[in-house]
Structure 1
């Protein structure tokens, strides 16, 4: 049974809340540097904790989704989000901040993974994920635009208060979220396994490689601009504009609804992603920086619905969509940590080379998986 419209709308809203900290991660990293005295590497390390917590929670939930109501799982997830963010107040030690943000990340993981499982069961997953990503980017654009003012007003505490209060808005709507249920899962319980372990491995590896690359760059876009000589306020406005470009990317994928298949969108998006990285090195002028960030974000959010809809085609149980969410967040978590090994306060060139290589690897793996499954993951 497909989720009804109320369940889909609730899943979209819950998914946005689950991504709340990641969507403004560049500003959050900058705030940790400027207001808690962390180095860029330390701030990226702390920011990655959310993604690690999300990944762990996603994998745990994938093991129990047929035994526990999805709606029930959302309540402890909401509590973990609020508790983890509350514990961050006034902490300045990177290790302590990492530990408490793992708690928040686990809550975010519950929200994101269950919303992905629900959206993946919609009648038109490409359109549903496109709408979801579009609305995420509206949130991200507003958040990045307002974050410099929030930080100036009350430091990182102002941002944490928002992270605590936003999940409260969702609580009255959780009654519309599906319970999941064994019957629905059992009816398609073997579809993902029929595809074959090699194909599923290639698809999941493609997701991990893609988001590993994204995380490596996205977390440091703020610092790349500052290292290139731009003012913090200019970087904030540039990132807000690039989020608007991302909205256009996700909207383009939504409007297409598979009209042009998936091969050409994937090729186009990966090419734009790799090309934009060539302009995010060295000295930065405002306009080239805005354009490069905008192309990068457009490509990311244009490709994202196609990747998720391919994964939804491969599986109808919800379990593999949760694994997809977990590997996506794990990639976003590990990416900044690996990138931290390459960077100095003024040099991010190796990060971009690392990410560009992974984008190409991801494309090749996803094409391998999708072609091998024929109708189950349409490319044309």
Structure 2
């Protein structure tokens, strides 16, 4: 096969992984809609609806672990098809039941499928020619699906009934059965700058995962309470809602900037730039400056979040020679996003906005320091 044809095939496979990764994360992207359906349409109430949502997210985390073990024996396309069948089957079965135990169990099972498919797609994006660019478009796609889904699905549910939420999510995932094969080809593509001393470099991939976890931990601790912080600043509802919407758009803008242009930056430069922006945003957020400063702060933080992650992902992809650790990203990020808000709540109660911002800054600083050290170690192994 010619180099041109190989590049074209790789490009299609990368876009297939991006699409399918977004499709697998559709339900988590519109999680507030699902919680609303469970609360209003099925009468679960807020507490039990929250339990169901947690079951779905636990399933995603467990799915990535299962995928890591299964990937040593089965091909990526087999796992994608099995995961998609599990996810779609559980979604369709959910439309046929209405009891809390049954719905919770099916959401856990669906989450397993979502986690398996998502893990393979993360690994495939990591094996692409430009991992930062691939993940940037994946993050932007998640944001777009979330925005469109939360705007459209409630109307569909109101007119056609709550089962259509799960039907629509299933339809989006159907191409998985056809896209599995091209995505599998990325598993055989050599990544850029992978060290030849794989046994020695194995610890670096765990190190990279730890940095991703710490970053998610600190950012989610702040993210979960920006609305409360706005209330503490006595910002009115209209300005607060507008600020939160602007932050969501800024997050997409940050990832799109990487996808279209900034992926050409070195990983260390991208991480350092993102760190500077996050730090400036956290300093601004901890200051009491009213609505304009609050808006600028959270927009900057969310922009930097979308900008930073693709470069951090690139560092992991470069040291994870066979892609096994990349499969654990849903588990690692899910763990950080689960623990972060709990820690943030304790800090807000104990020390207010400043305490949670200091924690966020400490986590981002630690994550950035580990990324810079990782880049140094990765270069050293590449030249051995």
- Of 109, 116, 120, which residue of structure 2 is paired with 1:110? 116
Alignment pair present for 1:61 and 2:67: yes
CA distance in 2, matches of 1:225, 1:343: 13
- Of 165, 169, 173, which residue of structure 2 is paired with 1:166? 169
Secondary structure of 1:4's partner? helix
Alignment pair present for 1:177 and 2:180: yes
Alignment pair present for 1:211 and 2:216: yes
Which position in structure 1 is the counterpart of 2:3? none
- Of 339, 356, 364, which residue of structure 2 is paired with 1:359? 364
Secondary structure of 2:306's partner? helix
Secondary structure of 2:175's partner? helix
CA distance in 1, matches of 2:210, 2:68: 17
Q: Cα RMSD (Å) of the superposition? A: 4.5
Superposition deviation, residue 99 in structure 1: 6.6
Q: TM-score, normalised by structure 1?
A: 0.76
- The answer to whether the Cα contact below 8 Å between 2:18 and 2:125 also exists between their aligned partners in 1 is yes
- Of 23, 43, 61, which residue of structure 2 is paired with 1:17? 23
- The answer to whether the Cα contact below 8 Å between 2:195 and 2:378 also exists between their aligned partners in 1 is no
CA distance in 2, matches of 1:30, 1:238: 23
Superposition deviation, residue 233 in structure 1: 6.3
* Of 265-274 and 297-306, the range deviating more from structure 2: 265-274
Which position in structure 1 is the counterpart of 2:136? 130
CA distance in 2, matches of 1:277, 1:199: 29
Superposed CA deviations along residues 334-363 of structure 1, whole A, max 9, x for unmatched, are: 323433444559955543332222111111
Where do residues 81-120 of structure 1 align in structure 2 (5 Å cutoff)? 81=87, 83=90, 86=94, 101-120=107-126
Superposed CA deviations along residues 218-239 of structure 1, whole A, max 9, x for unmatched, are: 3444454456555666555433
Superposition deviation, residue 67 in structure 1: 2.0
Count of residue correspondences: 369
- The answer to whether the Cα contact below 8 Å between 1:209 and 1:331 also exists between their aligned partners in 2 is yes
Alignment pair present for 1:194 and 2:199: yes
Superposed CA deviations along residues 55-113 of structure 1, whole A, max 9, x for unmatched, are: 22112101111422323333443455453694899788xx9987765444323212221
Q: Which structure has the bigger radius of gyration?
A: 2
Q: TM-score, normalised by structure 2?
A: 0.76
Which position in structure 1 is the counterpart of 2:272? 267
- The answer to whether the Cα contact below 8 Å between 2:86 and 2:110 also exists between their aligned partners in 1 is yes
Superposition deviation, residue 300 in structure 1: 0.7
Superposed CA deviations along residues 267-301 of structure 1, whole A, max 9, x for unmatched, are: 22123223323444698955444322221111011
Superposition deviation, residue 22 in structure 1: 4.2
CA distance in 2, matches of 1:207, 1:330: 10
What stretches of structure 1 of length at least 5 have no aligned partner? none
Superposition deviation, residue 303 in structure 1: 0.9
Which position in structure 2 is the counterpart of 1:311? 316
